[in-house]
Structure 1
Amino acid sequence: MKQIKTVDAVGQVLCHDITQILPGQFKGRKFKKGHVVKEEDIPVLLSLGKDNLYVWEAVEGMIHENDGAIFLKDIAAGENLEFSEIKEGKIDFIAGIDGLLKIDVDTLLKLNSIDDIMMATLHNNFEVKKGTKVAGTRVIPLLIGEEKLEEAKKVVGENKIVSVLPFKPKKVGIVTTGNEIYHKRIVDKFGPVIEGKVGKYNCEIIGQIICPDDKEVIKEAIQKFINKGAELICCTGGMSVDPDDVTPTAIKECGAELVTYGSPILPGAMFLLAYYNEVPIMGIPGCAMYNKTTVFDVILPRLLVNERLNKADIAAYGHGGLCMQCDTCTYPACNFAKI
């Protein structure tokens, strides 16, 4: 790369994109890297404030910004992604499917700790639609030393920083507890809520069993769904600490491995998660019946990409786990439960 006066640049090859800004009208690329400067380009370039240009002159050991961006994309990109055209040395990562965005946050931090390199992403565990821009990367200078890119490759290793995982619809059993519902004193309002939320992911409801506040009956209902091939069981009702709320005890005693009873998410503190072998069992607190977005909406997508969560996964939601309960809910495009 060498610098020359713009008026002397006819026939030279630009080694970087040149941006044009028209306030309130346009900002974008006017000349593309690799463009051969023509006589008629000179007045335009001068009007853009380019009295001097950088034109291509190969330097051993130095990589152009566009090639650097491609290198970073290749080492960081996982599955189900598409990519933008490179503009001004930057390349965007775009979701190729509807799914759950997964970001290797630790590796991303290490990558961004290398001088002259950047990558920005949406939050980990963000639900995305096909076509959503999920990340962008570039090198900062016009040319970057090969050793920086080799350092980046070493830092990333076999990890893939950005991926989109597809949702895998499951067969869902609903166990609803409560004497007031079992004896038909009130109409169950929880079942339709669960059906609506899992239906968004094309899950199949294979049944709903309504139980009294009887631990043994609830255990039997859970086992019936296990035997019927349920891949996810949602238990509603009886999730508080009242003495007659026995749903948590029934789940714990049905043979499932308890992950947590309680979560640092509001609404949703009384949430329970357990696994019966590979089948997740969720104890869903009453807030999910009347709040638009709760712990259920946060955890469900991760279970539908077959992620097996542990206690630390749930505990991590404390930072950001407070819903602001806005008049107009924009979840997941908000700060709620982003880790």
Structure 2
Amino acid sequence: MLEKVSVQNAVGTRLAHDITEIRPGEFKGPAFRKGHTVCDGDICHLQKLGKNHLYLLNMEEGEIHENQAAKILAKGLAGQGIEWNDDPKEGKITLHAAYDGILSINIASLAAFNLIDEVMCATQHNNTLVKKGDLVAATRAIPLVMKQAPIERAALIGAHDKGIVSVKPLKNLKTGLVITGSEVYNGLIEDGFAPVLSKKINDLGSRILSVKYAPDDSNHIQQAILNCLDSGCDLIILSGGMSVDPDDVTRTGIQQAGATEMYYGSAVLPGAMFLVAYINDIPLLGVPACGLFHRITVLDLILPRVMAGEHIDKKELAFLGHGGLCMNCKKCTFPHCPFGKGV
């Protein structure tokens, strides 16, 4: 229960909550912390903050304070790879990445959580690459005092799913590259794909184990894939040969190598002719020629998820359509842009 009193009559009482001060462009935070004993010298400062009245807190059975509620909510939200400090500020707790990886948000459970009255959680986008210590989510109970039952109900939504917010670490995958194209194989042009793909792999903490070159011949491509598998590759990336020309036989070579799953085409531009296949549990990613021209393509959306152990199928490639249109900005700011943020 909250009792309203004037600031003059509040002298000697303890604050029931943090009092926020905002100085535009300079400071936003608690001017007075919960539990502070109000003294005569505070009255002018409080009035400048627009506080002519304060609440005295008399908790009734079944009620909970915002700080205690925030702790319960944070515990329910936090999954694997998430850390948070048990020190709410202004009724809010922030959640941070415990290590480098890819952020995973259970979007449906997050919506269910936020549909409960008097609670909220805001997050970064699902599938965002994060570094250790990065802010990934924040939660708070909205009123100063509320019933405990809905708080616990909201927390149970997260606990049931082992957390709504989690971070999946990226695996160190031994990667094989298969560069296709008779023009490269026969030395007519210099290969531009291997350096581009190698940098993407290395930047995500994996390494190149093998680089094979194959002409536009499905049998040669098949053999290059099998050689990568024999050398112990955990991931194989193939470049070129994904279009509709007669010489584009990379898909056939993948099939001949024993693909157990194959999904051709993604709802992303650039990268519509992207391919995902599996030989048993080894993923194969087919990168179309756009990967040479565009700095960022569908590969940059899918590769981190594969390295986090996610199994990509037609559904995942289809859902990329929302937010999957690159605007080809003159100055690319990815990942700080809308590209790939729809899922």
Place the TM-score, normalised by the shorter chain, in its bin.
over 0.9
Q: Indicate the residue corresponding to 1:105 in structure 2.
A: 107
Give the aligned residue type for 1:87.
K
Selected match of 1:285 from 288, 292, 297:
288
Distance 2:198 2:246 in 1: 28
Q: How does 1:190-339 map to 2 (within 5 A)?
A: 190-338=193-341, 339=343
Q: Which range is displaced more, 5-14 or 282-291?
A: 5-14
Give the aligned residue type for 1:310.
D
Runs of 4 or more consecutive aligned structure 1 residues displaced over 6 Å after TM superposition: none
Selected match of 1:171 from 166, 170, 174:
174
Distance 1:272 1:125 in 2: 19
Distance 2:325 2:24 in 1: 39
Contact 2:276-2:313 at 8 Å conserved across structures: no
Q: How many residues align?
A: 339
Give the aligned residue type for 2:131.
K
Q: Aligned to 1:318, what secondary structure does the other structure show?
A: coil
Give the aligned residue type for 1:190.
F
Give the aligned residue type for 1:56.
L
Contact 2:76-2:157 at 8 Å conserved across structures: no
Distance 1:167 1:251 in 2: 25
Q: Which range is displaced more, 90-99 or 274-283?
A: 90-99
Q: Which range is displaced more, 67-76 or 254-263?
A: 254-263
Q: Aligned to 2:34, what secondary structure does the other structure show?
A: coil
1:80-126 superposed Cα distances (whole Å, 9 cap, x missing partner): 22325422111111222221000000100101111111111111001
Give the aligned residue type for 2:249.
V
Q: Which range is displaced more, 290-299 or 128-137?
A: 128-137
TM-superposed deviation, 1:252: 2.1
Selected match of 1:187 from 190, 199, 203:
190
Q: Indicate the residue corresponding to 1:128 in structure 2.
A: 130
Distance 2:159 2:129 in 1: 26
1:109-147 superposed Cα distances (whole Å, 9 cap, x missing partner): 101111111111111001112232111111111112112
Distance 1:329 1:97 in 2: 27
Give the aligned residue type for 1:297.
D
Distance 2:236 2:74 in 1: 39
Q: Indicate the residue corresponding to 2:19 in structure 1.
A: 18
Q: Which range is displaced more, 60-69 or 5-14?
A: 5-14
TM-superposed deviation, 1:157: 4.1
Q: Aligned to 1:71, what secondary structure does the other structure show?
A: helix
Distance 2:188 2:309 in 1: 38
Contact 2:5-2:56 at 8 Å conserved across structures: yes
TM-superposed deviation, 1:41: 1.7
Q: Aligned to 2:22, what secondary structure does the other structure show?
A: strand
Distance 2:134 2:32 in 1: 27
Calculate the aligned-residue CA RMSD, in Å: 1.4
Q: TM-score, normalised on structure 2?
A: 0.95
Contact 2:7-2:51 at 8 Å conserved across structures: yes
TM-superposed deviation, 1:29: 1.0
Q: TM-score, normalised on structure 1?
A: 0.96
Identity of aligned residues (%): 46
Q: Indicate the residue corresponding to 2:93 in structure 1.
A: 91
Q: Aligned to 1:221, what secondary structure does the other structure show?
A: helix
Give the aligned residue type for 2:68.
D
Contact 2:84-2:94 at 8 Å conserved across structures: yes
Q: Indicate the residue corresponding to 2:61 in structure 1.
A: 60
Distance 2:218 2:28 in 1: 65
TM-superposed deviation, 1:150: 2.6
Contact 2:72-2:152 at 8 Å conserved across structures: no
Q: Aligned to 1:40, what secondary structure does the other structure show?
A: helix
TM-superposed deviation, 1:37: 1.6
Give the aligned residue type for 2:43.
I
Distance 1:184 1:23 in 2: 62
Selected match of 1:158 from 157, 160, 183:
160
Distance 2:296 2:84 in 1: 32
Distance 1:236 1:192 in 2: 12
1:164-200 superposed Cα distances (whole Å, 9 cap, x missing partner): 1111111010111111111111111101111111010
Distance 2:159 2:72 in 1: 13
Q: Indicate the residue corresponding to 2:142 in structure 1.
A: 140
TM-superposed deviation, 1:56: 2.5
Distance 2:233 2:11 in 1: 70
Which runs of no fewer than 5 residues in structure 1 stay unpaired?
none
